[in-house]
Amino acid sequence: MILKNVFENINFAIRYRDICDKYNDFDGRMLGNQKKIYLKVLNRFDYEFKYFTNGSFFEIKSEIDIYEFQFNIVLKDGQIETLFFMKKNNIDIEPSGRVDFLTEKLKLPFERKLFNLPLFSSEDELFSILEELFLIFEDLKKEFLKFDM
């Protein structure tokens, strides 16, 4: 499975596990929906995004030639739920969805019950986590394009 190779080549499971391990203060996490803070932090990055109120998530899309990459971010109660979707010629490439479930679908070594969602307790932590997740997103795109699925 080519997609598995893409995730393995960028050390996805290890990198995501490290983020979840580093940011895991459940009791100290930022509670509630802090949309103003989320917008302030997201605006510090060089991405255009849309906010969808019906699912309370932010969507970032990137189109490169015949490919479309989509990164969704759900921020609530100090948790960051990230989802990744890919298309080639408007056809979905599977598996896709929540990144901690992708590791299971691709049979990558990852303990989802221990490391599923990173938690943030401050604006600075949110920025740091997103910074690392965006690096993974960029690496996924680059590696994915190498394989020309």
Average model confidence (pLDDT) for the chain? 90
Q: For residue 141, how many other CB atoms are within 10 A of its CB? A: 18
Give the phi and the psi of residue 81 in degrees, each rounded to 5.
Answer: -100, 120
Query: What is the model's pLDDT at position 1?
Result: 57
Q: 29: buried, middle or exposed (CB in 10 Å: 19+, 13-18, 0-12)? A: middle
Q: For residue 36, how many other CB atoms are within 10 A of its CB? A: 8
Of all residues in the chain, the percent with pLDDT exceeding 70 is 93
Q: For residue 146, how many other CB atoms are within 10 A of its CB? A: 11
Query: What is the model's pLDDT at position 102?
Result: 74
Question: pLDDT tens-digit profile of 13-68?
Answer: 899 999 999 999 999 999 988 999 999 999 999 999 999 988 789 999 999 999 99
Question: pLDDT tens-digit profile of 69-100?
Answer: 999 999 999 999 999 999 999 999 888 888 87
Query: What is the model's pLDDT at position 9?
Result: 93
Would you say residue 105 has pLDDT above 80?
A: no
